[in-house]
Structure 1
Amino acid sequence: MQSLINKLQKKRPQLSELEKQVFDYILRNPTEIKQLTIDELAAKLFLSTATISRTAKHLGFKGFQELKYAIAQYSQTERGERELTNPSIISLSQSIQLQLSQTLRLLQQAPIKEIVDALYHAKVIEIFGVGGSLPNCIEAARKLTFLGKKANARIDWDEQQAVSKSLSCDDLAIIVSNSGETIHIIEYALNLQQNNVPVLAIVGTENSRLETLATHTLQASVDMIYFEEVDLSSRVSLSAILDILLIQLAGRSSHE
């Protein structure tokens, strides 16, 4: 995605000397970056993780994960911009099918029964999400309400922050995040952790900071797709996980 690289190059002069080291290493090693966590990259460059996070934010991303996967997307399509800007229906369908099959395979290894029990016993279920993940949260909260649960998914970020400080250990928080690194999401997770609220994280990337703050994590397979500055990544795998959990919950409730 040459347009992405050109955009990032224009921001290089605004970076500090340490941030330029991070930036240059990422552009020289896009394939390697896809496999590295922020801690591993920090160790390679003998820099702090805070420096790497600041670099990502100064380049216009919410965190290292988002920058990493944007660069990875470019690396996978360096055969030509046309592949990215005009993908065929067949290639898109195959990509979505693959994401779903990988997600379902990961779910087979997850403690689904334990998570469904937590959903069943929770007094209140609060679903947190921002940006492209928010519609999935709203739909899940709606379905939970019809299943007889007290559930909410709030649109306003400040309201989400307030609620994250008011839940108790008898409740359950579900956090849906593609990157698992969004500043607001991490803030909510820290508030929830402080109050000993059980947290189920549903994330589209591995080794995110959100995963370290969650009681349970369900991993979705998500291909990051950027057209210029627009994130067009499909959230179908995140939605599938939520639907599977709610169907399991409905089945459990019907047997009580």
Structure 2
Amino acid sequence: MNEISILAKIRKNLSLFTDAEGKVAGYILDHPGFIPTMTTRELAKQSDSSEASVVRFCKTIGAGNFKMLKIMLAKENTIGDENINHFALFETEDTPLSLFQKVTYLNKSAIELSTHTLDKREFEQAASHLKSANKIAFFGVGGSFPPAIDAQYKFMKLGLNATASSDFHYAVSQLSMMKQGDLLVIISTSGKTKESIELAQYAKEQGVITAAITALRKSPLYKMADIKLCIPDVEEEQRVGSIASRMAQLNIIDALYLSLFHEIGKEIYPSIHKSKEILSKRK
């Protein structure tokens, strides 16, 4: 986000907008929390303007397009009064219940906004490569490692050769045994983690396809990845922990898992059913 908040920028430039753009600006200022889940058509209707006016407004304010404006507003909403992921949390008077409500709001917003940051073609490409790869490696460090473990477990259940690691040395050794057509999935919210960038570079040298589950921003990992599975950029650099970003990562993994299950589920159903029978005997 720019140093000046997007809402402050809109207020500051109200006199510069056309009449139609002013209607869009007014609605956004009155209902900033609604915008991240709206479509261009919905905003145009609610602000009594046109879709073309919404597009022009986004360019005028420097957001480029409506998708980026929604991402900027979503991030701004989460670092405002509803923010729960910053060390300033110490200064609030929240109760356990109010924090539960804020966490729910934050996670819901991140997942809903993912429908705008995730590119359909990139997602379909990821599903195709997951199905055809002989080996799949998931990698993530810190808060991005739990989603990697979840991914390994899910795709292993589908009979795929999937592994997960947060150890760079282990990942390099594993990657050296992978070949063209295999897939490396790197999970990194910032896209700036040194280990993730170096691993992506090594994958390129090996001819291994790299998919990145990362925030929609021009990070080093974003630029290097062959497949970009983008989540909304709603986290702060100095945060208590991975919260909304982790939910968005898990949501993409779940969707990929179900996409593959939809394609190959009938083939592996006997094996899945057998494992469930064995596990049920231990209950």
On the 8 A contact 1:137/1:176 being kept in 2, the answer is yes
Q: For 1:3-18, what aligned pairs fall within 5 Å after superposition? A: none
Change (3 A) 1:113 1:179: same
Output the CA distance in 2 between the equivalents of 1:128 and 1:195.
16
| Residue aligning to 2:4 | 31
Give the TM-score normalised by structure 2. Answer: 0.59
**Over aligned residue pairs, what C-alpha RMSD do you find?**
3.3
| Residue aligning to 1:137 | 148
| Residue aligning to 1:111 | 122
Ranges in structure 1 where 5+ consecutive residues have no aligned partner: 1-25, 34-68
On the 8 A contact 2:212/2:228 being kept in 1, the answer is yes
Change (3 A) 1:224 1:152: same
- One-letter amino acid of the structure 1 residue matched with residue 235 of structure 2: M
Output the CA distance in 1 between the equivalents of 2:110 and 2:251.
11
Q: For 1:4-83, what aligned pairs fall within 5 Å after superposition? A: 30-31=3-4, 76-77=79-80
Change (3 A) 1:232 1:225: farther
| Residue aligning to 1:120 | 131
| Residue aligning to 1:231 | 241
Task: Give aligned pairs, total.
Answer: 191
On the 8 A contact 1:225/1:233 being kept in 2, the answer is no
1:156 aligns with 2:182: no
- Measured against aligned partners, the alpha-carbon deviations of 1:204-243 in whole angstroms (never above 9, x if no partner) come to 24111101111110111252257x7743433100010011
| Residue aligning to 1:36 | none
1:196 aligns with 2:207: yes
| Residue aligning to 1:41 | none
| Residue aligning to 1:38 | none
On the 8 A contact 2:123/2:229 being kept in 1, the answer is no
On the 8 A contact 1:129/1:185 being kept in 2, the answer is yes
Output the CA distance in 2 between the equivalents of 1:142 and 1:82.
33
- One-letter amino acid of the structure 2 residue matched with residue 213 of structure 1: M
| Residue aligning to 1:243 | 254
- One-letter amino acid of the structure 2 residue matched with residue 206 of structure 1: R
Alpha-carbon shift at residue 138 of structure 1 (Å): 0.8
| Residue aligning to 2:179 | 168
- One-letter amino acid of the structure 1 residue matched with residue 142 of structure 2: G
On the 8 A contact 1:204/1:238 being kept in 2, the answer is no
Partner SS state of residue 187, structure 2: strand
On the 8 A contact 2:147/2:249 being kept in 1, the answer is yes
Partner SS state of residue 30, structure 1: coil
Residue identity over aligned pairs, in percent, reads 25
Alpha-carbon shift at residue 244 of structure 1 (Å): 0.3
Output the CA distance in 2 between the equivalents of 1:181 and 1:249.
29
Partner SS state of residue 263, structure 2: helix
Ranges in structure 2 where 5+ consecutive residues have no aligned partner: 7-71, 268-283
1:178 aligns with 2:183: no
| Residue aligning to 2:112 | 101
